[in-house]
Structure 1
Amino acid sequence: MRMSSVEEHRSGAPESVACYVITVSDTRTEDTDTGGPLIQKLLEAAGYTVIGRTIVKDDYDDIRELIYQNSVNPGIEAVLLTGGTGISPRDTTYEAVASLLDKSLPGFGEIFRLLSFQEDIGSAAMLSRAIAGTIGSTAVFSMPGSTGAIRLAMDRLILPELRHVMREIYKRS
């Protein structure tokens, strides 16, 4: 029986991906951050490696610099962010991520909002500005800060496809 092209791509994907986790928050501390540790736990349970995790204030320049520094680190293949994706004046994660992307993955945000709408968020799902893409050979995923949103994004979108994403990034023409 012949494999589908998606199955073929997944079968040629790397076994693990080295990830860095960023929580964007003006109020969270190491003791009160629930999002970053949840992402780390889900990544590690799925066989991914977490190289580091940090919290950054919701400041455009600080977020952008942290993403950039991790994207040029050869030991980091994916950066996952949580928080700062809403529409309040302090929410600047979307702008920071978008300003750095070489290629965007609009389907990530589109499908995340659809799943959120279908699950229990309803029309408020349109307020989410989840975003993903690539910076050079680094995958970047930015999701809202609630643990429900993190579980949805991780379980339904990121964990099943991260290896495949990396295979595509590393594919030589």
Structure 2
Amino acid sequence: MLSKHRKEAKANVRCAVLTVSDTRMKETDKSGKRIMDLLIENDHQVPLYRIVPDDKEQIRMIVEKAMYSDKLEAVIINGGTGIAYRDVTIESVEPLFDKHLPGFGELFRFLSFQYDIGTASILSRATCGVANNCLIFSIPGSTGAVTLAMEKLILPEIGHMVKEIHKDVQQ
């Protein structure tokens, strides 16, 4: 049974999909493709898709462009969430947040521990927040992590989250 919130959720969310990687190209970006496929299968739209190098300035620039676009309501970033030196996605996006949603990262790590990679889940810095009334998710770049985050957390709640962000915003 759907809750009242889910029944009133926005059905079609316009999303940007960003893959952070120094090595992937459109032809080899399985995780970005997986995110887009799942969004489209669930009646959401993907007007923006980009592969961005592991570079703070470039990541921040494309995320800012997305969050200030009238055409986008959410940004889903995959890659760059680990603890390696080149993993700078979190440092690039969290300073942009007006509101941080810590429950997303907590739940993702719990589910990742339980269903995917076990104790290695402590290496994930997955995060979510709101910036300029735009929802921003940052998840690991493995296809398993992407599938888990999309199916268990993002797809069930993205419409509800976007509705909540905009419910008392003057248009």
Fold match (TM-score > 0.5): yes
Residue from 22, 28, 31 that aligns with 1:35: 31
**Among residues 95, 104, 111, which one is paired with 1:108 in the alignment?**
104
**Is the CA contact (8 Å cut-off) linking 2:112 and 2:118 kept in structure 1?**
yes
* Secondary structure of the corresponding residue to residue 166 of structure 1: helix
1:52: how far off?
1.6
Q: Percent identity?
A: 49
**3-state DSSP of counterpart to 2:57:** helix
> Cα deviation per residue 1:93-141 (whole Å; 9 max; x = unaligned)?
0111101111011011000000011113111101001010101211001
**8 A Cα contact 2:116 2:144, kept in partner:** no
TM-score for both structures, normalised by structure 2:
0.95
Tell me the equivalent position of 1:92: 88
Provide the rounded CA distance (Å) in 2 between the counterparts of 1:42 and 1:115.
Answer: 19
Q: Distance in 1 between matches of 2:81 and 2:27?
A: 22
8 Å Cα contact 1:9-1:167 kept in structure 2: no
Instruction: Specify every segment of 5 or more residues in structure 1 that has no aligned partner in the other structure, as ranges.
Output: none
Say whether residues 1:51 and 2:47 are aligned partners: yes
In 2, the alpha carbon distance for the partners of 1:98 and 1:52 equals 21
2:137 match: 141
The TM-score normalised by the length of structure 1 is 0.94
Aligned-residue CA RMSD in angstroms?
1.3
The letter of the residue matching 1:68 is E
Residue of 56, 73, 79 corresponding to 2:75: 79
Unpaired stretches in structure 2, ≥5 consecutive residues: none
Q: Residue 22 of structure 1 contacts residue 54 of structure 1 at CA under 8 Å; is this kept in 2? A: yes
* Deviation digits for residues 125-173 of structure 1 (CA, Å, limit 9, x no counterpart): 0100101010121100110000000000000000000000011101117
1:128 alignment partner in structure 2: 124
